Amino acid sequence: MLPFAYQAFITVVEAGSFYQAAQLLNVTPSAISHSINQLEKKLGFSVLVRNRAGVRLTENGQEILPMIQTILADEQLLEQKAANISGVSQGIVRIGAFSSVCINWLPPILRHFKKHYPQIKIKVTQDAFNNITSDVRSGKIDLGFTCDPKNDAVIKVPLIKDMFYCITPTDFIPINGHSITQADIIDKSFILQHSDYIGDTKAVLDHYNVTVQSLQFSIDDQSIIAMVEAGLGIGILPKLALIKTSGEVNAYPFDKEFYRDIYLIINSIETKAPANAKMVSTIKQFIEKHYPEHLCK
């Protein structure tokens, strides 16, 4: 077994305070403080700076963080391998996902997974694309759903091509009656999330020569729907985001098809863990069953 100080150190970094780390590990804050002190004594340098706002890593702490994450990942892998040899499936799978995946995909995927592997724990974090990629790379989470990841330090599994639609008030009808053309969006104001302006949505905006002055920003998919419904502009959303959002709006395809590619990304070390391998297999089966016509080639 590894020293508890390693787990205490990682948990303090992730939680941002000794108190929160103690709550998560079910120990006292003084036990966390003692463990960090012991770790610093053993290493010969400080790893954390304590202040009123919480804690932050020292330069030395930043340097050793990936090493301790790897050590803990290897320990978890060993425990899972041993459990599999003994005929018991156990472990923990840490997943990161953006909102529409959390709403539409994860409930049926996790329900199926828990039915077959009830002893494997699952932790889900909802976040933005870039944060998910960064957390998978660093080992903070094991696998994640994102769009067009740029980081080469993670394993990338392409899933589906998710088509974009133009969201309009119900009284709006395209000139050709069925799809959005350049003529339909002249002088129109677009509503989207700020992060989308530097993502796949930008390809749509650039194609139709939409300027920054024509943009206004909202916080999430549902609020975009609400603002379009109120007649404040038109939006751009992918099909997956429209499945469980509600509002009196229309969704029209563009006269040129645009897609975002959704990927499953996996930490290169954690991919070896049996629990993670089982989850990846479950996700692939779900995608192949429900999206056979939209699989990334």
The pLDDT value recorded for residue 287 is: 93
Give the residue, 138 or 232, on which the prediction is more confident. Answer: 232
SS3 for 284? helix
Question: 160-260 has which CATH code?
Answer: 3.40.190.10
Fold classification of 1-65 (topology level): Arc Repressor Mutant, subunit A (1.10.10)
Q: Where are the domains of the chain?
A: 1-65, 160-260
Residue 263: alpha-carbon gap to chain centroid: 10
Residues 6+ positions from 271 with CB-CB distance below 8 Å: 155, 277, 280
* Token couple for 192: 């989207």
SS3 for 13? helix
Q: Residue 289 burial by CB count (10 A; 0-12/13-18/19+): exposed, middle or buried?
A: exposed
> pLDDT digits over 57-94, tens only?
999 989 999 888 888 888 877 777 776 665 546 788 99
- The yes-or-no verdict on residue 2 having pLDDT over 70 is no
Q: Look at residues 14, 8, 50 and name the one whose alpha carbon lies nearest to residue 28.
A: 8
The pLDDT value recorded for residue 154 is: 87
CA–CA dist 179, 181 (Å, integer):
6
The pLDDT value recorded for residue 169 is: 95
Mean pLDDT over 243-269 rounds to 91
Give the residue, 272 or 84, on which the prediction is more confident. Answer: 272
Contact 179, 253 (CB under 8 A): yes
- Over its C-alpha atoms, the chain yields an Rg (Å, rounded) of 23
> pLDDT digits over 174-211, tens only?
999 999 999 999 888 999 887 766 678 888 988 998 88
